[in-house]
Amino acid sequence: MKVLFIAITLILILSVSLKAQTENKNYDEALAKSLNADDYGMKKYVLVMLKPGSNTDTSKSVIDSVFTGHMKNINRLAESGDLVIAGPIMKSKEYRGIFIFNVETIEEAKALIETDPAVSAKFLEPEMFLWYGTAALMETTKIHRKIEKYSF
């Protein structure tokens, strides 16, 4: 009797969990494949939180030069498809900005972040995390190009 009860319980749990997942009628297989999406429309990225670095140089010419290079590097990485999202964090003493890299490992992200002049000059210090998010982020750069009136 106990075995029958356990078997019925397992069958009920399995049937409920199978019903919880429904197939999306709008699924676009070609788009999903082009974005490297898994069956849930998700993929791996590396999230980088940029913290203030150890360099406290306040020379305007040095800061301007480094951050001009920082912006050029952001644009280069976005154009190549390696950088999906970038932006400053407003009014925070702990964090200055974020990057989301289109890579699956911290090692790959380290190689990309080392190309940033603000990181190399120690104005920014990266803190990196593996992150699982929507593969639709891969479309962000294309959309951004259509809505930015001015660029850096």
Query: With pLDDT > 70 as the criterion, what percentage of the chain qualifies?
Result: 88
Residue with tokens 């900005």: 97
Q: pLDDT by residue (tens digit) across 17-70?
A: 555 678 889 999 999 999 999 999 999 999 999 999 999 988 999 999 999 999
How is residue 141 written in tokens? 């750069």
In CATH, the architecture of 25-147 is: 2-Layer Sandwich (3.30)
Closest by CA position to 82, among listed 102, 100, 110: 102
